[in-house]
Amino acid sequence: MEFSFSASTGVAFMMMCLFAVIAVGYLLGRISIKGISLGTAGVFIVALIFGCVFYKDLSNALTVDGKTFVSQALKIVENIGLMFFVTAVGFIAGPGFVANFKKNFKSYVLLGLVIIVSGALACVGCIFIGRNFTKLNHAELTAMMVGLFSGALTSTPAFSAAKDAVAEGLDSIVSTGYGIAYLFGVVGVVLFVQLIPKIMKADVAEERKKITATDTGKKKVYNGKLVDMDEFGLMPLGLAILLGIVIGSLKFGSFSLTTTGGCLLAGLVFGHFGHIGAVNLMPKNTTLKVLRELGLVFFLMGAGISGGSRFIELFEPVYFLYGVVITLVPMIIGFVIAKFVLKLPLFNNLGSITGGMTSTPALGTLISVTGTEDVASAYAATYPIALISVVFAAQLIIIFLS
């Protein structure tokens, strides 16, 4: 059966599919096994399956004047979701960010570096092991492994940098590796931040007090009547996203913060200062929570459906195994060092792990597990050094091992 859509009916059908993915994804996320659940990451799993099964037919069906608009629409959904999520996280973390960062500056920088370096070394180890079990030449294997590295750490900037750094014709192999490792890169960290408190039999309420005392004890209290630009605070949120896009577009050589880093930075600055004169820059807390969740769902949905489009075609078990190793090694090493060397409280530790792994979905899960947004401060403090490090690590691996 062939379908023919006008632009309006095609968009309507696309929206039906997207919201069906959200609904089924949340149902999957609610399933709990011994207290462990996928949570919002259930949307990603359903989106991936949907992409595997229906992406090709959907693209063929949603064609207007000979052009399909599915991939572009999904990219827009993904980017809007990412901007909503990280900007809301920045606003939430902003008031306590400076005090927390000053207190734990060395720990966050060191932990970010440890996580990325250990992940890069795991990638290098997999390259040397993989040379004995592959038909790919050295350059092709390195391209595949760096793709796995960027996917295992769910790092779009590293993915982009790797594609630019490899020799001509190898960028598709990088994309393959990224897609294979991205699934466990998302789900693995989400499960990790849920399992660790249970394994350690942590008193969640007590641990919450520790991070709250660390992160919110020096939050500013604003005196005087502030003028709200709108009822929900959407104006300052929109302004922060606009500035974040501009900041993320600035390039220093081949490096940029990207939209993710730019919006996070803008949200942190707005959240830290809170106002300009009598003008309130802080959206309502309910607004931030809703947009944080909605943004995360849109991001996971767009990334999942797109990733599923070629997942079956490109998947090989051994590469998936390499991706699992590259995800687990830095998480475990980072957690051990944060706990026993840096002596960070548990929720600071896990918040830093999500930032060091540049894992947006895991942060959303950790906030639900801990019951406090204060973990976002640890994420935001570790994220920048991890973002910069993972981009350079991907490029260095290609330069020295291709």
- Inter-residue contact 145 to 322 (CB < 8 Å): yes
**Token pair in block for residue 22:** 């959200």
Residue 141: its H or E element: helix 138-152
* The amino acid at 336: V
400 C-beta neighbours (distance < 10 Å), count: 9
Looking at 200-310, list the stretches that DSSP marks H as alpha helix, in order from N- to C-terminal side: 204-216, 234-249, 258-273, 285-308
pLDDT of residue 217: 41
pLDDT of residue 6: 54
Q: Quote the CA–CA distance of 24 and 42 in Å, as a whole number.
A: 8
If you search the block for the tokens 């597990």, which residue do you land on? 369
247 C-beta neighbours (distance < 10 Å), count: 19
Residue 43: its H or E element: helix 41-61
Q: What DSSP string runs through 63-85? A: EETTEE-HHHHHHHHHHHHHHHH
Q: Quote the CA–CA distance of 199 and 336 in Å, as a whole number.
A: 14
Per-residue pLDDT of the chain (402 residues; tens, 9 = 90+): 455 555 556 678 888 889 999 999 999 988 888 777 778 878 888 988 898 888 887 887 777 666 677 888 888 888 898 899 889 988 987 887 777 777 778 898 899 999 999 999 999 999 999 888 888 888 889 999 998 998 899 886 677 678 777 888 787 788 778 878 988 998 899 899 999 999 999 999 999 988 766 544 444 445 578 898 898 999 999 999 999 999 988 877 766 777 877 888 899 899 889 898 899 999 999 999 899 889 989 988 887 887 777 777 767 889 999 999 999 999 999 999 999 999 999 999 999 999 999 887 888 889 888 988 889 888 888 987 887 788 789 888 988 887
**Token pair in block for residue 205:** 């309420």
**Token pair in block for residue 277:** 């004169």
Q: Quote the CA–CA distance of 91 and 288 in Å, as a whole number.
A: 8
pLDDT of residue 218: 43
- Inter-residue contact 352 to 211 (CB < 8 Å): no
pLDDT of residue 213: 60
